[in-house]
Chains A and B, each alone.
Chain A
Amino acid sequence: MMVRYSDDAILKGLYHKKSRYIEYFYKEYFPVIRSLVEKNSGTKSDVEDVFQDALLVLYKKCQNHDFKLTCSLKTYFYSISRNIWFQRLDRRWRLCYQSDPEVNEKFVSYGGETVDANESDLARQRLFQEHFFRLPADCQRILRLFFSKTPMSEIAESIHSSSVKYVKTRKYLCKNMLRKRILNDPACRPYIYQQGRQDNVSTGASIHVGGAKQPGLVKEITLK
């Protein structure tokens, strides 16, 4: 018999990063998101991305102690996912939306009031995650320990090395590897160019797009 959890229990489970609740959440809510995305010109891969991003937004919401649900968790999650998917479709210039009859649409709002999810930030974060999880296991370990403020001597012990210098070099190499991989990934381009645009505004420099020199603020650059 399948156990059913209340919305509060699920949120608590997500807050504590419990795998059991994440799996339950996947079983219960993934089909809804699949329906939303696939009905609106999305692929299987889009479904997984939207689900992952929406769940991350929900997780971050759970971290906020003032957060309170004003509708069912399903409707709220649907709202987050729809918001993300809308932004993504918007970015791809092929917006064509069909509502899902299973969800009470009057609680769903699009525009950022209910859900402050920036699709672009989420996509970047996912890109970083993908590259991070593809790093060698020891690299992941060193970077995790380093960024969780573990002393270098302890990191050296945990990787069975007596040299702190080795750990520093290794950490530098691992991070460098990760950065290079991200920069070489074509999916990274939109975020780089967006930021490049801001840098140009601040420095007054110019960048080349499609062979034409455009000074100062570049109107719109979308590579995808």
Chain B
Amino acid sequence: MKDATMKNDWIDRYNEDELSPEEKAVFEKMKNSSQVLRNEVMVDRYLNEFLSDQDTLEFCRKVKLTILKRRNGRSFSSFLLIAASLLFLITLSGILFLMGKRNPLPWTKEDSAMREVERERLSPSEDRLTDNKLFTGDRLPVAQSPVKSTPDESRSFALLPELESLIGHQPRSLDFALEKPGFRDRFRLGSQVLFSWSGTDSLQTVVLSLMDNEGNLLSEYRVEKTNSCVFKTETLRRGIYYWRITIGGELVSLGRMELY
């Protein structure tokens, strides 16, 4: 322990040339016999050189600070970028969630057809239509692409009980009488289906709607100043479809057609 203390002290003094000739001789003898001591002496000598050049040390400190500042600056910018992205995603998902709550999907298997009819009767301005030209007549403004949502072949022939119960429905308050088609007719895919009726005057607007067998609204068209319109089936797939006729928001007729 004493030797170690002496040695450490002597390293300093040896390099600063403060040892007496006797001490120096002893120290050099020790140094020659010990690699570890030689290393310490050498590092101490380098340290003295290094610490004596205060200008360089100060310059290096400033360079080091600049590098650290830049590195941390970059890390902070990356952190900000990630935080901003997360915030944006959270906000976006929140908005989408709220929008989903405000506009729930109108037709599900659980919803009854009457609920949809009632909704449309109360707020006809919210009618939704598709872009595909199924009917001849004025297309109502809507946004939905339902034809693509037609289920696969086996499922597309299933009947929808909610709408089945309404087939043939006709209100007593109106003199509306459907002439064509029948309430449960079958048609070849691609053929044209003629809809004609009587009992309406020229001022009344008739709205024809088409739904798939899951109750999804596929298309709606407004027919004015005429008692007939042609329905094109070429853009549809095989399966069960339901059509609906409303006047002034009130359901006047509903039927099923099978495309084979």
B174 CB to closest chain A CB (Å) equals 77
B57 pairs with A129, CB closer than 8 A: yes
A2 CB to closest chain B CB (Å) equals 15
A48 pairs with B67, CB closer than 8 A: yes
Interfacial residues, chain A to chain B (CB-CB below 8 A): 14, 17, 19, 22-23, 26, 30, 48, 51-52, 55-56, 59-60, 63, 124-125, 128-129, 132-133, 143-144, 146-148, 172, 175-176, 178-179, 182-183, 188, 191-192, 195-196, 199, 203, 205, 207
> Is the CB of B52 closer than 8 A to any CB of chain A?
yes
A56 CB to closest chain B CB (Å) equals 6
Q: What are the residues of chain A within 8 A of B12 when measuring CB–CB?
A: 172, 175
A52 pairs with B67, CB closer than 8 A: yes
A183 pairs with B40, CB closer than 8 A: yes
Per-position 1/0 for B42-67, Cβ under 8 A of A: 11101110111011111111111111
The 7 closest A-B pairs by CB, nearest first: A147-B51, A195-B42, A192-B39, A128-B50, A148-B54, A17-B59, A199-B38
Per-position 1/0 for B167-203, Cβ under 8 A of A: 0000000000000000000000000000000000000
A195 pairs with B39, CB closer than 8 A: yes
A26 pairs with B56, CB closer than 8 A: no
B8 pairs with A22, CB closer than 8 A: no
7 A-B Cβ contacts within 8 A? A22-B63, A52-B67, A59-B59, A143-B51, A172-B9, A196-B42, A203-B32
B138 CB to closest chain A CB (Å) equals 60
Q: How far is the CA of A224 from the CA of B67 in the complex (A)?
A: 25
A56 pairs with B67, CB closer than 8 A: no
15 more A-B residue pairs beyond the given contacts A23-B69, A188-B43, A205-B32, with a C-beta to C-beta distance below 8 A: A26-B66, A26-B67, A52-B67, A56-B56, A56-B59, A59-B59, A132-B50, A132-B51, A143-B51, A172-B12, A175-B12, A175-B47, A179-B47, A183-B39, A199-B42
Q: How far is the CA of A70 from the CA of B66 in the complex (A)?
A: 28
> Is the CB of B35 closer than 8 A to any CB of chain A?
yes
Contacts A124-B46, A125-B50, A172-B9 given: A22-B35 contact, CB under 8 Å? Answer: no
- Give the B interface residue count (CB, 8 A): 35
Kindly identify which residue among A19, A148, A172 contacts B66, using a CB–CB cutoff of 8 Å. Answer: A19
> Is the CB of B70 closer than 8 A to any CB of chain A?
yes
Q: What are the residues of chain A within 8 A of B51 when measuring CB–CB?
A: 132, 143-144, 146-147
Q: How far is the CA of A105 from the CA of B62 in the complex (A)?
A: 30
Q: How far is the CA of A74 from the CA of B35 in the complex (A)?
A: 44
Q: How far is the CA of A23 from the CA of B11 in the complex (A)?
A: 39
Per-position 1/0 for B26-45, Cβ under 8 A of A: 00000010010011101110
A209 CB to closest chain B CB (Å) equals 11
A147 pairs with B63, CB closer than 8 A: no
Q: How far is the CA of A60 from the CA of B222 in the complex (A)?
A: 88
Closest to B48 in A: A147
A129 pairs with B64, CB closer than 8 A: yes
B47 pairs with A144, CB closer than 8 A: no
Q: How far is the CA of A60 from the CA of B53 in the complex (A)?
A: 11
Contacts A125-B50, A128-B47, A203-B32 given: A17-B58 contact, CB under 8 Å? Answer: yes
A192 pairs with B67, CB closer than 8 A: no
B52 pairs with A147, CB closer than 8 A: yes
B4 CB to closest chain A CB (Å) equals 11
Name the residue among A56, A147, A183 with the largest chain B CB count within 10 angstroms: A147
Name the residue among A14, A48, A188 with the largest chain B CB count within 10 angstroms: A48
Q: What are the residues of chain A within 8 A of B9 when measuring CB–CB?
A: 172
Q: What are the residues of chain B within 8 A of A188 when measuring CB–CB?
A: 43
Kindly identify which residue among A59, A132, A207 contacts B35, using a CB–CB cutoff of 8 Å. Answer: A207
Contacts A147-B52, A196-B35, A196-B39 given: A26-B70 contact, CB under 8 Å? Answer: yes
B56 pairs with A22, CB closer than 8 A: no
Q: What are the residues of chain A within 8 A of B11 when measuring CB–CB?
A: 179
A20 CB to closest chain B CB (Å) equals 10
Kindly identify which residue among B35, B46, B59, B67 contacts A128, using a CB–CB cutoff of 8 Å. Answer: B46
A145 CB to closest chain B CB (Å) equals 9
B106 CB to closest chain A CB (Å) equals 56
Contacts A22-B66, A192-B43 given: A59-B56 contact, CB under 8 Å? Answer: yes
